[in-house]
Structure 1
């Protein structure tokens, strides 16, 4: 019996190598407003988090009210840089082709806004793998770490959550996948294997070249 009927992918850091690009835009925006931090600190601050969840901290450190206008400004600057520089995660094209050939259904279930998701998938040539199967955390009642976006993706594919594998690179995202009842595979370049396992990932990958074999092997 096939272990999974569907694979649900996070977007940023899993399908596309975008985290450092967004962090650089945020770092520069906050620097103008008086909050200086390194690229590494800003990347750690943003990883796996929705902007609205950081609003109180940004307000505390800069005095800014992070309202809709603030978020629109950030997203506009971010999307320009993503359109110029975003790349696919290494080996993800080959992994998606193999999964598609094996008959597995696939969806992208991201905590990001739909404009960002679609821009990045189009820019990296990944959009055809997820046509009509993109789910945004901005379009459900609760974003990650709540399970809503993964539950919506499973329902959209017509697959029970427990028959889904989730691929995530952040602690927040792993928790969302676990809460949905899926089996979660961590991708470790940013969060680190230990943190992803502690959040509930059954297996942690260091390269997307490992994904197809990992999905076919028993979780430990």
Structure 2
């Protein structure tokens, strides 16, 4: 089936941002009284919005999750991303292939805030593909694992979700894509994560973003 539209997640799919963002978050949580290893922080927070975990953060730190704390987190996160962010290897060719496959009907549908998504796409040279077609879970009633961001992206492109392809890398994101009715392919460079992605409903796993052009050529 040739897909009418392809909907990309951002963090971990197009940009290698997760270790950077979660490193800042881990440091700030430790400063607030909740000590996590880097691996524990990744396992708990990848695919989630920090605000959605307010109750857990407040219980573990014993402090309210204030707007001032969130603003400091955004500032420190953005500074680190601006300094250290890199594109996922093969992502530029993958996006180009998706752009051509669908006649330019692609979106970036992320659970992150819009500023972060746009900053990252600009920094790694992908913004020209996605300008005007970026969706943030922060701007919708529910973020992932709810399907809202993918439904909004498909609607914007006037594409039936059942004829859309979602590219994700986390179980939470896969769950959102499946709930929207789309086909979900999961980018899975770490084999040990494959079981969780398949259990969440991914139709296919691929380990290298450079594989995507060949995969699209077969549908």
TM-score by length of 2: 0.94
Deviations 1:58-111 (A, max 9, x none): 111111211322211111110111111111110010111222233251100000
Say if 2:69 is the partner of 1:70. yes
Q: Is the contact made by 2:33 and 2:62 (CA closer than 8 Å) also made in structure 1?
A: no
More displaced 10-residue stretch of structure 1: 13-22 or 101-110: 101-110
Shift in alpha-carbon separation, 1:189–1:66, aligned structure 2, 3 A? farther
1:211 Cα deviation from its structure 2 partner = 1.2
Shift in alpha-carbon separation, 1:22–1:163, aligned structure 2, 3 A? same
Q: What does residue 213 of structure 2 align with?
A: 212
Q: Is the contact made by 2:146 and 2:175 (CA closer than 8 Å) also made in structure 1?
A: yes
Q: What does residue 177 of structure 1 align with?
A: 177
Looking at structure 1, the residues matched to 94 and 139 of structure 2 have their Cα atoms a distance apart, in angstroms, of 27
Q: What does residue 189 of structure 1 align with?
A: 189
Looking at structure 1, the residues matched to 106 and 22 of structure 2 have their Cα atoms a distance apart, in angstroms, of 28
Looking at structure 1, the residues matched to 175 and 216 of structure 2 have their Cα atoms a distance apart, in angstroms, of 19
Deviations 1:1-39 (A, max 9, x none): x52011000000001000000011011111112222211
Q: What does residue 153 of structure 1 align with?
A: 153
> Unaligned stretches of 5+ in structure 1?
none
Q: Is the contact made by 2:166 and 2:185 (CA closer than 8 Å) also made in structure 1?
A: yes
Say if 2:129 is the partner of 1:129. yes
CA RMSD of aligned residues (A): 1.4
Looking at structure 1, the residues matched to 95 and 16 of structure 2 have their Cα atoms a distance apart, in angstroms, of 16
In the comparison of the two structures, how many residue pairs are matched? Answer: 217
Looking at structure 1, the residues matched to 15 and 87 of structure 2 have their Cα atoms a distance apart, in angstroms, of 4
Q: Is the contact made by 1:3 and 1:216 (CA closer than 8 Å) also made in structure 2?
A: no
1:187 Cα deviation from its structure 2 partner = 1.1
TM-score by length of 1: 0.94
